[in-house]
A and B are shown apart, each in its own frame.
Chain A
Amino acid sequence: MSKYMVNLKINNMPIAVEEGTTILEAARKLNFRIPTLCHHPDLTVAGNCRVCVVEVKGARLLAAACATPVSEGMEVLTNSEKVRVSRKHIVELLLAEHNADCTKCFKNGHCELQDLASEYRIGDHVFLDLVRPESKIQDISSPSIVKDDSKCIRCQRCVRTCAELQGVSALAVVNKGDHQKISTFLNKPMHEVVCTNCGQCINRCPTGALTERNYIEEVWNAIYNPSKFVVVQTAPATRIALGEDLGIPIGNRVTGKMVSALKKLGFNKVLDTDFTADLTIMEEGTELLTRLKKALVDKDPSVVLPMMTSCSPGWIKFQEHMYPDLLDNLSTCKSPQQMFGAVAKTYYADKINIKAQDMIVVSIMPCTAKKFECERPEMRDSGYQDVDFVLTTRELAMMIKQAGIDFDKLEDEHYDSILGESTGAAVIFGATGGVMEAALRTAYEIVTGREVPFTNLNIKPVRGMEGIKEASIKIKNVKQEWSFLEGVDLNVAIAHGLANARALMEKVKSGEAAYHFIEIMGCPGGCLGGGGQPIPTSPEIRKKRAEAIYSEDEEMPIRKSHENPEVTEIYKHFLGEPLGHKSHDLLHTHYKPRKRY
């Protein structure tokens, strides 16, 4: 049904928009900017902060532009005296309950409230300071997320993020009136609740109320420590987003500049998580084929399908809390970050003749859950904590700024070798569907001896931003040893964002769909939309980042994980074979159920 057009005037300029359009959207079309705080393009409309109020001629009340649909003949004023006075009042009120020690705040310079205060030149506060002393005690219990209630402006973006995008609801509104706040179940510390550490709330918090636990000083200290050999790894999705925090437009790949900057910061070796992404494909692809054989041929009842990816630590913790009965479906593969740490402190340390205890492994991740993951007790198979510190893409940008590096002017540099070589298959780990695509490129070839039957290796059905994607690939003309797969339709599914993951898990549990392999990424869009990526985020931004990732893939000389020469090397000289004894010790693990309450 086509929508009819509504005519209205905004600041005396006529415009016709589709019915159902909000005043905010209509004003944007006319290039009138109306400030917002509680509004976010990824979330449902709340209309609670009220900074977007506008005057509608003839109406008794101001209208929240974000929440009010246009109507025929409406005349809107976005900057009348009433609007200006009210909006300024509202900003002042927000500041009154906001602990505005901006110079000490991690979000200094990246705060939407600060921007508004600056825009309205709020000088001396008219109103009384209402910040409660107890609210200034930060919750630093989580290794990933710092919660500071004294900075909270109750816009509830975090609450909606956690509920609508992630289906977790670790954060919720409690109490009413002057005691209303954003809290956890029974006001427990963040590390004791169902929080998956995904950091999506951080990406949408307009102030410094939710930030990542930052480890910038720790990493500087390691770099300056002459007795430490500091190795850094960079996740696939960092290279297509880092530029956003350093003045480069969205959707630009900065891989070479990032490597150059990391070398200038003083890391001893700049290596690539993409290498272990390829390694993951070798292990996980083999695990899938082995599981299929055990399930389909051996009828081994201990083997469960579908197999589910295990790269995303937010997803892992979600599964531990929400679907502990499906933990056996998870691939036993550690995430690429953790495989890297385990390999770095064994194989690599040996190669370069550095003692593991003298090595510090730092990760640059698009992710806050990785900070939690690296501290997990399961992740010490090298004999030490495999990965020592995890920095978000944002934290790296800060370090680059602190070091006075003019990022835009940097010449491209290459990763160090070894553990620096990678393929297009590894890069696409950063986008939803990417692990699936990389795994199919390799597994299909192992089984049939031929490349996947898609133009230019691009498996389009598993790409894109739909919440849940399904695909089926017919396996034909297999090699002798894989004859049991002849003619089989390999059914796969992909979900990103934990609310979609939940929906997919329900389908799996009900038996409604019979999949063989499922890829789940905890964050919307996959790692490119991770909780550690530059702020802001939106569907458009994530789309541009995805395009950047796939163009990086297309330009890589090698695009299949099993063709990575360093991967071949590590199996030849160290690991033996995928799922072999050494792999088992270093690269695989199991997870245990966690309580929800």
Chain B
Amino acid sequence: MENNLKKVDIIFEVDEKVTPIDVLDKTLKRAADEIILDLIDSGLKGRGGAGFPTGLKWKFTRNEDSDVKYVICNADEGEPGTFKDREILDRVPEKIFTGIAICGYVVGAKEGYIYLRGEYNFLLKTLQRKLDIFNSQLKERNFDFTVYLKSGSGAYVCGEESALFESMEGKRGEPRNKPPYPTVAGYNSKPTVINNVETLVYTTMICHMGPEKFKALGTNDSRGSKVFSVSGDTPKPGIYELELGMPLHEFVNEFGDGDAKAIQVGGASGHCVPRKKFNDTIIGFEGIPTGGSMMIFNSSRSMYNVLHDYLEFFTEESCGQCTPCRVGCQQLLKGIEAVKRGERPPAYLEDLKKLTATMKIAAKCGLGQSVGNPFNSIVDNFREEIIY
């Protein structure tokens, strides 16, 4: 079978002639509204997983009337199976800094922050050194903007934007009630743009190459490309930038080991796609969206164990404040254990599926809301592995 999988090189591309700071210089000469229009035109959606249109986010924040605004780069890459931001932070941090600074210019912020995952502290020193250079470059240009680094402490939930703000403010990392949304009241209750690492790099690159080139990639609903973290039963695990909107079978042909029985798309909180659905699954916002994690499982893997691991993870990483998530995760975990041991009938899985429906609509944040994704997709497609 012919493989149309298109590899792209935008994120990591290094252009000796046009450096990120050159992009910044060029962009700062443009009107903020024009930059926003370009971003909207490009169709860029957030690369952290939720997929909110980036241009709109910037626009909303720009429109807020406030003396103080913030730009925050969410580098709390905690989704199991996702490791692309680490690579971006390591290889092209200047592109991130530039994206933050451009955003600051557009929305009218004077401070930007990178909230770095606690487990990535080994990057702190290098990042800080490069950041110092970048900040001094901003100073030379009389651009009143500074980027700071903040380190997280390893809680998965702090990747949720409002929990991240709480954490940055020195409080317990627990998601807030919404509304208000970050564009209105984010960090320190001020209007805040919070974007994923990769998203910010794309904003830099769209400012560099124009929206057309970006838009030419992908599909109507999923413009552009995306960096994927490929792991599991694959002969070539790693980081790959691929065009969005690809059919899953093409991905499997490229990366699978010939025996793939399921792909977990989007990390632990994402969906599990079984072999029989590879052909009609699209990776993108019209199909299955992903923050980048693609975990491949071959026939040697127990899907019960996979689900059990995920549920253990969520049970531990729920912040614990809201009932559906705190207790729901435990029920799902103990529930499949009880079914496996024969202490509850297989039909109990239906009760648990109904519970995930409640979690999806009643939990306070995306963590609890998405636990049903892996649960239902694994239970529905690998029911016999869960029961026996």
A66's nearest neighbour on chain B, judged by CB, is B177
B364's partner among A48, A85, A93, A96 (CB-CB below 8 A) is A48
B358's partner among A48, A86, A156, A173 (CB-CB below 8 A) is A86
Given A49-B323, A126-B351: A177 touches B329 (CB 8 Å cut-off)? yes
Q: Which of A60, A61, A175, A177 has the most CB of B within 10 A?
A: A177
A93's partner among B323, B351, B354 (CB-CB below 8 A) is B323
Given A53-B362, A62-B362, A93-B328: A176 touches B155 (CB 8 Å cut-off)? yes
Question: Are A128 and B321 closer than 8 Å at their CB atoms?
Answer: no
Question: Are A68 and B157 closer than 8 Å at their CB atoms?
Answer: no
Question: Are B318 and A177 closer than 8 Å at their CB atoms?
Answer: yes
How many A-B pairs fall under 8 Å by CB? Answer: 115
A89's partner among B179, B315, B334, B355 (CB-CB below 8 A) is B355
Q: Which residues of chain A (158-210) have a CB below 8 Å from chain B?
A: 173, 175-180
CA distance A82 to B338 in the complex (A): 27
Question: Are A90 and B323 closer than 8 Å at their CB atoms?
Answer: yes
CA distance A69 to B157 in the complex (A): 25
CA distance A480 to B351 in the complex (A): 85
B179's nearest neighbour on chain A, judged by CB, is A69
B331's nearest neighbour on chain A, judged by CB, is A127
Does A405 lie at the interface of the complex (its beta carbon under 8 Å from any beta carbon of B)?
A: no
Question: Are B328 and A130 closer than 8 Å at their CB atoms?
Answer: no
Q: Which residues of chain A (58-76) have a CB below 8 Å from chain B?
A: 60-62, 64, 67-69
Question: Are A175 and B320 closer than 8 Å at their CB atoms?
Answer: yes
Task: Collect the chain B residues with CB atoms within 8 Å of residue A130's CB.
Answer: 327, 330-331, 334
B352's nearest neighbour on chain A, judged by CB, is A127
A178's partner among B315, B324, B355, B357 (CB-CB below 8 A) is B315
Question: Are A64 and B179 closer than 8 Å at their CB atoms?
Answer: no
Q: Which of B327, B330, B331 has the most CB of A within 10 A?
A: B327
A64's partner among B155, B328, B364 (CB-CB below 8 A) is B364
A48's nearest neighbour on chain B, judged by CB, is B321
Does A519 lie at the interface of the complex (its beta carbon under 8 Å from any beta carbon of B)?
A: no
Does B363 lie at the interface of the complex (its beta carbon under 8 Å from any beta carbon of A)?
A: yes
Q: Which residues of chain B (324-358) have a CB below 8 Å from chain A?
A: 324, 326-331, 334-335, 338, 351, 354-355, 357-358
Task: Collect the chain A residues with CB atoms within 8 Å of residue B319's CB.
Answer: 176-177, 180
Does A272 lie at the interface of the complex (its beta carbon under 8 Å from any beta carbon of B)?
A: no
Task: Collect the chain A residues with CB atoms within 8 Å of residue B326's CB.
Answer: 154, 177-178, 180
Question: Are B331 and A93 closer than 8 Å at their CB atoms?
Answer: yes
Q: Which of A48, A51, A94 has the most CB of B within 10 A?
A: A48
Question: Interface digits, A40-58 against B, CB 8 Å rule (1 contact, 0 not)?
Answer: 0000011111110100000
Given A53-B362, A82-B361, A173-B172: A94 touches B327 (CB 8 Å cut-off)? yes
Given A60-B361, A69-B179, A85-B354: A96 touches B320 (CB 8 Å cut-off)? no
Task: Collect the chain A residues with CB atoms within 8 Å of residue B354's CB.
Answer: 85, 89
Question: Are A89 and B369 closer than 8 Å at their CB atoms?
Answer: no
Question: Are B321 and A154 closer than 8 Å at their CB atoms?
Answer: yes
Task: Collect the chain A residues with CB atoms within 8 Å of residue B172's CB.
Answer: 173
Interface residues on chain B, number (Cβ under 8 Å): 35
B313's nearest neighbour on chain A, judged by CB, is A177
Question: Are A90 and B320 closer than 8 Å at their CB atoms?
Answer: no
Question: Are A89 and B329 closer than 8 Å at their CB atoms?
Answer: no
Does B317 lie at the interface of the complex (its beta carbon under 8 Å from any beta carbon of A)?
A: yes
Question: Are B318 and A85 closer than 8 Å at their CB atoms?
Answer: no
Question: Are B361 and A89 closer than 8 Å at their CB atoms?
Answer: no
Question: Are B358 and A89 closer than 8 Å at their CB atoms?
Answer: yes
Task: Collect the chain B residues with CB atoms within 8 Å of residue A96's CB.
Answer: 327, 331
Does B322 lie at the interface of the complex (its beta carbon under 8 Å from any beta carbon of A)?
A: yes
Task: Collect the chain A residues with CB atoms within 8 Å of residue B314's CB.
Answer: 177
Question: Are A180 and B362 closer than 8 Å at their CB atoms?
Answer: no
Interface residues on chain A, number (Cβ under 8 Å): 38
Does A274 lie at the interface of the complex (its beta carbon under 8 Å from any beta carbon of B)?
A: no
Q: Which of B172, B179, B320 has the most CB of A within 10 A?
A: B320
Question: Are B329 and A178 closer than 8 Å at their CB atoms?
Answer: yes
CA distance A48 to B355 in the complex (A): 17
CA distance A68 to B181 in the complex (A): 12
A180's partner among B320, B338, B358, B363 (CB-CB below 8 A) is B320
Does A244 lie at the interface of the complex (its beta carbon under 8 Å from any beta carbon of B)?
A: no
Does B316 lie at the interface of the complex (its beta carbon under 8 Å from any beta carbon of A)?
A: yes
Task: Collect the chain B residues with CB atoms within 8 Å of residue A373's CB.
Answer: none
Q: Which residues of chain B (128-174) have a CB below 8 Å from chain A?
A: 155, 157, 172
Given A86-B361, A128-B338: A97 touches B320 (CB 8 Å cut-off)? no
Return A174 CB to nearest CB of chain B, in Å: 9
CA distance A474 to B240 in the complex (A): 81
CA distance A85 to B335 in the complex (A): 19
Given A68-B177, A85-B358, A178-B315: A48 touches B322 (CB 8 Å cut-off)? yes
CA distance A94 to B351 in the complex (A): 16
Question: Interface digits, B200-220 against A, CB 8 Å rule (1 contact, 0 not)?
Answer: 000000000000000000000
Question: Are A176 and B335 closer than 8 Å at their CB atoms?
Answer: no
Task: Collect the chain B residues with CB atoms within 8 Å of residue A64's CB.
Answer: 177, 364
Question: Interface digits, B266-306 against A, CB 8 Å rule (1 contact, 0 not)?
Answer: 00000000000000000000000000000000000000000
Contacts A/B (CB < 8 Å), 27 sampled: A45-B177, A47-B322, A47-B364, A48-B364, A49-B323, A50-B323, A50-B363, A51-B323, A60-B361, A61-B361, A61-B369, A62-B362, A86-B361, A89-B355, A127-B327, A127-B355, A128-B331, A128-B338, A130-B330, A173-B321, A175-B320, A176-B155, A177-B315, A177-B317, A177-B318, A178-B318, A179-B320
8 interchain residue pairs of minimum CB distance: A180-B320, A93-B327, A67-B177, A89-B358, A48-B321, A47-B177, A86-B358, A177-B318
- B-side residues, CB < 8 A to A, are 155, 157, 172, 177, 179, 314-324, 326-331, 334-335, 338, 351, 354-355, 357-358, 361-364, 369
Known: A48-B323, A90-B362; 20 extra A-B contacts, CB below 8 A, are: A47-B364, A48-B322, A50-B362, A61-B362, A64-B177, A67-B177, A69-B179, A89-B324, A89-B358, A93-B327, A128-B331, A130-B330, A130-B331, A154-B321, A154-B326, A176-B320, A177-B320, A179-B316, A180-B318, A180-B326
